[in-house]
Amino acid sequence: MPTINLPNGARVEPFTTSPARDFAKATPPFPRVALAAAHVVADPLAEQDPWLDVKIDWDRTIAFRKHLWSLGLGVAEAMDTAQRGMGLDWVGAQELIRRSLDAMKDHPGAVMASGAGTDHLAPGPDVTVDDVIRAYEEQCEAVEAMGGRIILMASRALAKAAKSPADYERVYARILSQVKQPVIIHWLGEMFDPALEGYWGNHDHMAAMDTALAVIHAHADKVDGVKVSLLDDKKEISMRRRLPRGVRMYTGDDFNYAELIAGDAQGYSDALLGIFDPIAPAVGGALAALSKNDLSTFHDILAPTVPLSRHIFKAPTRFYKTGVVFMAWLNGHQDHFVMVGGQQSTRSIQHFSELFRLADKAGLLRDPEMAVARMRALLALHGVA
């Protein structure tokens, strides 16, 4: 197996790669719903101002969704993993959703849900709760008009405009009363997006949870599930046990997903995760094992992916997308390591080196020779021989 010199603190040390792991494949349905929040592939050759313009390589972007579907995973489209509101605007998100829905027609049984939010409405002192409602309505109507299912994303504008939990209840009641199909509500924590601090009208997560649960119980027939991204398994389990019957908990916990998906005597979490993008082959293998009630193999596969995920999502967590795209480049899903908004620059060469080691340990470098060649190119760019 190829060896590469990688930075490790102040030293550069040789690292010998391992063979890629051969994960079992199985056909859904799986015992858990598993949605991967998928990234977008930038077009590095487009004429643009990289920090200001959004140029997408649509062929590679859609090819990656087909890769996820081929492994039995569903796709959560136009979410924060796709740099939604962090480079990808609402116009680009609509195009992304439309193209993905068209591609899904060629994959019988494929599953996809798409983000609808208010990111075309800039938060500000003059923005009212009614403005937020209209913004949500516009995006929900657009997704439904394309034939898509909705993931109701958290709103920066609402976090700014709301004066109390009652404002959140009014906004969500209005939108949920109008949607055609049950939606997935996304509670995205401030560790992912600092602008969402105090969501649901309270800075205390447990108090905020009371408001979210009140909304869900009042409109349970319009809620397929709730995705909680607080990186706190105890809070997720607490909320999971208080959900109405038939409403799913979709874990968004990229630190503790294995145990949350496995569940306990009182229930389990389904999954809608950004980490499922780079570890998709392992997820497919783990779910195949779970289909056979083989928890030993399930945990054997996912256990080494957890340190990798914790590293990718380490603080500042909002920069996790850089690690996701780095993995896609190492594994040949795209020919470059360029991101929308130039976000490939948000992590250090030390971070990438440790990510490389952890990905190898998890068996997720599908072609170690290619991964080493690409990593050497990045190291050279950073002055590491």
Chain centre to alpha carbon of residue 367: 24
Please count the CA atoms within 13 angstroms of the CA of 7 that sit on its side-chain side.
18
71: in domain: yes
235: amino acid identity, one letter: K
- Looking at residue 343, its pLDDT comes to 95
- Write the CATH number for 210: 3.20.20.70
- Which residue in this structure is represented by tokens 């060649």? 373
380: in domain: no
Measured distance CA(362)–CA(307) in Å, rounded: 9
Q: Average of pLDDT values for 226-237?
A: 98
8: in domain: no
Nearest to 156 by CA among 112, 186, 113: 186
Measured distance CA(9)–CA(216) in Å, rounded: 47
Residues of the chain above pLDDT 90, percent = 95
317: in domain: yes
378: in domain: no
What are the pLDDT digits (tens) for 85-100?
A: 999 999 999 999 999 9
18: in domain: no
pLDDT above 80 for 308: yes
Q: Which domain holds residue 349?
A: 28-362
What are the pLDDT digits (tens) for 316-364?
A: 999 999 999 999 999 999 999 999 999 999 999 999 999 999 999 999 9
CA distances from 279 to 193, 249, 305, 364 (A): 23, 21, 7, 7
Q: Which residues contact 229 (CB under 8 A, 6 or more apart)?
A: 186, 187, 188, 189, 192, 252, 253, 254
10: in domain: no
pLDDT above 80 for 385: no
Token representation of residue 179: 């949607």
CA distances from 373 to 40, 87, 164, 166, 329 (A): 23, 29, 54, 55, 11
Q: Which residues contact 294 (CB under 8 A, 6 or more apart)?
A: none
Which runs of E-coded beta strand occur in the chain?
A: 3-8, 11-16, 34-37, 74-77, 112-116, 150-152, 183-188, 223-229, 248-251, 270-273
23: in domain: no
Measured distance CA(266)–CA(237) in Å, rounded: 9
Token representation of residue 149: 């299912």
117 confidence band (pLDDT: 50, 70, 90): very high
- Looking at residue 25, its pLDDT comes to 83
Preceding peptide of 108 cis, ω within 30°: no
Domain count, the chain: 1
Q: Average of pLDDT values for 263-268?
A: 96
Indicate the SS3 state at residue 247: coil
